[in-house]
Structure 1
Amino acid sequence: MSPELVAGLGGALLGAFLTGVFGWWLHRIEQTSAQHEELRNIITKLVDLQEEFQTKVMPITDLQMREFAGTLLNTKRTVYLESAQNLVRKIPRTVSSSEYARLAFEFANDANFTQAEAYYERALQSAQSTLAKVVAARGIAAFYFGQGPQRDFARARQYFEQAIDLLKNPTDAYSLYTLGYTYETWGLVELYNGFIDEGNRKLSFARKYYNDLPNDYRLKHQSLAAIEAKINHVMHAREYLPKTAATGTAPDGGVIPDLFSAGPVQ
């Protein structure tokens, strides 16, 4: 076989190999993109289910009918969570911080606290921007403040401090608002867990930063009004909790999820 023929054959084989590799790579990208889109759709459906529960199930006055409707929604939710978990296993590096955080919230509400903790940690690890890091730190802080056996007040406060440190010297209205909202979340979970003085201190900071917002900032007056309603909600909810002798906290350390599920839009 002549050298020219060998070289030509080698070039053809190399070309075929590179074409195959490129084709596989392109297929993999398309597959990952499709799986990520599927995950996004599932997360959207989970958010819709929460809204449906609040707007359609909770207002049902008949207790049996409300329980039945809630069970149906919960069955759907379980299916969505299983599908989401399978997709995350396939594309862990493609999932965004906000997507991990939302899934963590859903798994915490489903009492799967181990999976929730893992997703909150991934949300923090995968956060790119400062605001994304703030939201992730705030989410895991609220988680450690109250949900399940992982409750750890000291660790929770460290994450809140981390979120606050990331927002030092805010230079724009949205960062100022996010700082206020972070203090608000911190204060509310302190209140709910029986740390009244500490909670009120954090809430005073929240009011300060909300008041520092420009008067024409659309979330300023809305936030100042909402914070008082949330405080009343938390204090009213505490009246129905069994108390522990030592701290006055709820034994399950529960956080009221609907107060903290939606922070500033990223």
Structure 2
Amino acid sequence: MAISIKSANQIDKMRTAGKLASSVLEMVGDHVKTGITTEKIDQICHDFIVNDLDCIPAPLNYNGFPKSICTSVNNVVCHGIPSEKKLKKGDIINIDITVIKDGYHGDTSKMFIVGKPSVKAQKICNVARDSMMLGIDMVKPGIHLGEIGKVIGDYAHSKNCSVVRDYCGHGIGEVFHELPQVIHYDDGRINQSPILEPGMTFTIEPMINLGGYEVVTSRIDGWTVTTKDRSLSAQWEHTILVTETGHEILTLRTEETN
């Protein structure tokens, strides 16, 4: 299957879906505080997505996933299932939102900090975001996709952090996960990776660990991915469009434009 090149009409729909997804993260921030459960955060986001935005929460029932969002706390790398566990001071949490509007997906995530973080917690959140932004800054027509991963990996490693290798970014549009796969480290095959063209849309979403890159998936729920060494992990995600001259962040939040 080839990498899809979106038409102008498709790009407009992707812009709409991306903006709506980002609005969920903007909305939920005030609710992320000590004592709230991730189940309650899921309910708040679900109601906002369905009732206020008139969208579909893409994760719900996707390959059997039971909730409308992913909530990954502390050493959870990704795919954390909302539960009755309460957030406490010092927790870091990734909230991952994907909505479907008029058949198109908008996918984005952000780290939230509950109260005052530890030095290590603040570091991993910062390194993860900076890694993503450095990768995004690379995006333009004519480069190899693998160049994005090299920049991300080099930066994370320079900060004595590691990049999760078991999961990657992905193409997105009418399909939640499509080509290309966006690897967030240098796999030694940069020159064999696809060359970016205008109209491509994909996510950049590096998962950065404070310790080693190895992860394990829960045998209990089959979804929750944690760091093997129990170290903290952080992730940020944006949906990106390759334009004629560079790129556009389709899920850019208002706070990021100031």
Normalised TM-score (structure 1): 0.29
Normalised TM-score (structure 2): 0.30
Q: Which structure is richer in relative contact order (CA contacts within 8 A, separation 6 or more)?
A: 2
Q: Which protein is richer in helix relative to its size?
A: 1
Max Rg structure: 1
